[in-house]
Amino acid sequence: MAKKQTFLTAEWSEQFKKSYAGLQHREQKNADKVILALLKREPTPGMRVKPIEPDKYYSEARINDGDRLIFHEHDGVIWFIDLVTHDDIGAYSKKPRA
């Protein structure tokens, strides 16, 4: 019998929605693969999921050579924050102020 698949709950920031809408169709498909893998907790080796230094509040997942998906996981919910280029990751290096 097949293993029962469980998923994290997902929330999408307005910034993420805006960034996603700005992607080309092929880029959206690549992002979709990463999103589904994260939701299923089955990251692929090419994703290179890791926390963003120095605060390690946000994490990044590699979509391709230049694009990264920014997310935060808390209490079984994965918050999709933004889609950025590798050079723009620094904007998410610090924990947001309360």
The pLDDT tens digits for 38-59 are 999 887 878 999 999 999 999 9
Asked if 30 and 37 count as a contact pair (C-beta separation under 8 A), the reply is: no
- How many domains would you assign to the chain? 1
| pLDDT at res. 3 | 66
- pLDDT: is 44 or 91 the higher one? 91
- Answer whether residue 88 shows pLDDT above 70: yes
Q: Is residue 92 part of a domain?
A: no
Q: Is residue 90 part of a domain?
A: no
pLDDT band at 96 (very low <50, low <70, confident <90, very high): confident
Would you say the pTM of this structure is higher than 0.95? Answer: no
Contacts of 48 (CB under 8 A, 6+ apart): 61, 62
CATH (domain of 28): 3.30.2310.20
Q: Is residue 93 part of a domain?
A: no
Structural domain that includes position 16: 9-85
Q: Is residue 13 part of a domain?
A: yes
Asked if 95 and 55 count as a contact pair (C-beta separation under 8 A), the reply is: yes
Q: Is residue 65 part of a domain?
A: yes
